[in-house]
Structure 1
Amino acid sequence: MSTKINKGNLDQNTPTYWKWIIAFSCSWINVFTFGIFRSIGLLFGAFVSEYDCTYRQASWPVSLIGSFASITGLLAAFLSHYFQIRTLVFTGVLICSFATSICYLATDIIQITIFLGVIQ
């Protein structure tokens, strides 16, 4: 008895370069997201010294990064029923890149909390 694999969900007409662009975009999402996780000890000390805030205030961006990363996974799964994966990936890359980049201009720990903790 042989089992036939249903390839109905795989788009055979999608050009190969789009598949590589999506894979590259997913890589960049992980670089921005998990790069922040790996360097959080350095960022925590920098938040306290640069923005002259308490440890409690400096811990908010750190805590919210992990929480919102998990929540956006559920949101992406829901949105994948209504939008193409390509659109979701590109939107995620743009939002993540913008939020991480705009932190350079932040003048307050609250701005860091919003851009790095919530949006990114």
Structure 2
Amino acid sequence: MTDEYSAKILVATFKRPRSAIDLSREYGIPIAACYRRIHALEKAGLIRCTERALTQKGKRISLYMSQLKNAYIFFENGRLRVRFQLATGITRDFGGDWKAVEVEEPPTQDSL
């Protein structure tokens, strides 16, 4: 849940339902990775399928909508964590697997 693709999917589906194909094309997420993230987010209760539609070619697609109301990132006991408040009022905590977090040093006077 703490990767860039999952974050993009959650943000993109916040205001309106989106299909995996739309998410993949618009955000440059490989389609297989997009489906994996969608299924993981759905299993965690962070998104849900809100409707099924037909494409112009007659293929049935699922449209997904974020279930987030608020998200909080915090540092606790030496680890970054994220807390999600869902539209239902339920709160869920995730964290500890932040492999891609990098800290940049602020510029010094010498580098300016």
TM range (shorter): under 0.3
Please identify which structure carries the higher strand content. Answer: 2
> Structure 1 length as normaliser, TM-score?
0.22
> Structure 2 length as normaliser, TM-score?
0.23
Please identify which structure carries the higher helix content. Answer: 1
